[in-house]
Amino acid sequence: MRPRGFSERFTEQYKTYRPSLSSKTPFCVIAFLMILFRFKNMKNTITESASSNRLLSLPVIVSALGYFVDVYDLIVFNIVRVPSLKSLGLSPEEVSSVGATIYNWQQAGLLLGGILWGILADKRGRLSVLFGSIIMYSLANILCGFVQTPIMYGVLRFIAGVGLAGELGAGLTLVAEILPKHLRGYGSSIVASVGLLGAVVAFLTNSWFDWRTTYFAGGGLGLALLLLRVRVYESGMFEQAKTQSSQRGSMRALFADSVRFWKYMRCIGVGVPTYFVIGILATFSNEFAKALGITEEIVTGRCVMYVFVGTVVGDMFSGLLSQWLKSRRMAIGSMTTMTLIGVVFYLYGGIKQANTFYLTCAYLGFSIGYIAMFLTVTAESFGTDLRATATSTVANFVRATTLLTLPLYQYLKPDVGAISAGGLVALLCFVIAYLSLFLMEETFHKDLDYVE
């Protein structure tokens, strides 16, 4: 038997950790920790040599809760866009145009932040990014509760976007590096499924309180999460890579080599349909419903909630599917095809009832539930010295594709209408996704303990 490496010894120390719950723990944290413990039932489907304790180690739990807060604060503008802008005195036409501008400012922040935090995660460590990013976006979201003008609203959403860009990539990189390769698919599913419930909680919070309180709650949850983060340790693979590579966190290294560059672009390409669904079909669902002739009022925030409820289930399903198929590519391909079917029905299925429209949003959410999967593939595709840079930037470049797809949709809409404009943008997104998937390498059994 070969001697155990540093990273293998490192992962075993987490077996002793368990999340502690006190009477002062926020209710939402307790609820989702309970959901995490339900994943113990997964041990019957995992090989006997694997311990479910590793899936419930503190880094996995904290990463899942971190993504929960990240999604809450990321999607909160999509949910409160209409009521918040109306309260600032904007007309219905301005709500659409100004709302799109503010949303694009947030996405621009994600684009910039993805590069910034990704580089820092490989240069300074995964945990430094997890701490720094959550402080930035939590404070920005709290300040969003005080905005009085659209300009200040846009500035704060940009700052929030920069902060939000660091959470998911660094968290999934940490989880991928501390779990053995036969458990990585399950780990990413846990992080994604728990995390995406943040959108549901954001919608419910906005249903119970006004939009300003919804922002305060999101920022407060983020600051509370810092208390759990202090017990998490750095990835052993990263500590080892410090002495092995001088190009840690180099964006230039991703672009300088043609093979590495196209591998990177394929990781972005397969995820493009996910944010077409979230950023256009869900966020502007009221416009599509009107174009379809649905007479009942469609609440955009509810559509966003249904999409993310579906995504919670879909991300768990895609993780289990990849483990069963022993293939990341086949799992992503299956989910992408289901997304294509859902988009066609959404746009051209002749939906006339609000309930059918909401159910279609839930199905679309389920079908795009491979977000964590394509980010896991990204983490598995690059060495430890570039892994966080690649994963963080891919995550946020995919989110930021709305900077291109949304203006294209708005440009086409006056001439061809919302439905045809959405269909043309969808066609472009799926062509990119299928081409990227066809050329992508399989990473299911890949060993991650290496540098580029």
Tens-digit pLDDT profile for residues 250-286: 677 788 888 899 999 999 999 999 999 998 999 899 8
Section 304-313 average pLDDT? 86
Determine, yes or no, domain membership for 297: yes
What average pLDDT does this structure show over 165-180? 75
Give 353: exposed, middle or buried? Use CB within 10 Å, 0-12, 13-18, 19+: exposed
Domains identified in the chain, total number? 1
- Grade residue 18 by pLDDT with cuts at 50, 70 and 90: very low
Q: Which has the minimum average pLDDT: 3-7, 185-189, 414-418?
A: 3-7
pLDDT value at 182 more than 90: no
Q: How far apart are CA 359 and CA 364, in angstroms?
A: 9
Residues 6 or more apart in contact with residue 137 via CB below 8 angstroms: 70, 73, 159, 160, 161, 162, 163, 164, 167, 222
Integer Cα distance of 196 and 369 in angstroms: 10
Helix (H, G, I), strand (E, B) or coil at 239: helix
- Does residue 172 sit within a domain? yes
Domain of 255 in residue numbering reads as 58-234+250-439
Q: How far is CA 285 from the centre of its chain?
A: 20
Neighbour tally for 35: CB within 10 Å:
14
Q: Is residue 13 part of a domain?
A: no
pLDDT at 100: 84
Three-state DSSP state, 13 = helix
What is the DSSP secondary-structure string of 76-121? Answer: HHHHHHHHHHHHTT--HHHHHHHHHHHHHHHHHHHHHHHHHHHHHH
Task: Give pLDDT tens digits for 224-248.
Answer: 877 766 555 555 554 555 555 556 5
Residue 3 lies in a domain: no
User: Domain for residue 85, yes or no?
Assistant: yes
Q: Is residue 445 part of a domain?
A: no
Mean pLDDT calculated for residue range 177-188: 76
Q: Would you say residue 97 has pLDDT above 60? A: yes
In the predicted structure, residue 128 carries a pLDDT above the cut 60:
yes
66 band by pLDDT with thresholds 50, 70 and 90 = confident
In the 8-state DSSP scheme, what is residue 41?
A: G
Question: CA-CA distance, 161 to 111, in Å (whole number)?
Answer: 8
Round to whole Å and give the CA distance between 401 and 109.
Answer: 12
Read off the CATH number of the domain in which 405 is found.
1.20.1250.20
Instruction: Choose the weakest-confidence range: 134-143, 242-251, 339-348, 441-450.
Output: 242-251
> Looking at residue 30, what is its pLDDT?
46
Alpha carbon distances (Å) from 142 to 65, 137, 139, 325? 19, 9, 5, 43
Check pLDDT > 80 for residue 291.
yes
Q: Is residue 9 part of a domain?
A: no
Residue range 295-305, pLDDT digits in tens: 898 888 889 88
d(CA 391, CA 387): 6
Enumerate the H helices of 124-166 as residue ranges.
Answer: 126-144, 150-164
**Tens digit of pLDDT for each residue in 391-436?**
888 888 898 888 899 889 989 999 999 999 999 999 999 999 999 9
Mean pLDDT for the chain overall: 80
Higher per-residue confidence, 127 vs 262: 262
More confident call, 134 vs 344: 344
Task: Indicate whether 34 belongs to any domain.
Answer: no
Question: How far is 415 from 225, CA to CA, in rounded Å?
Answer: 47
pLDDT score for 26: 46
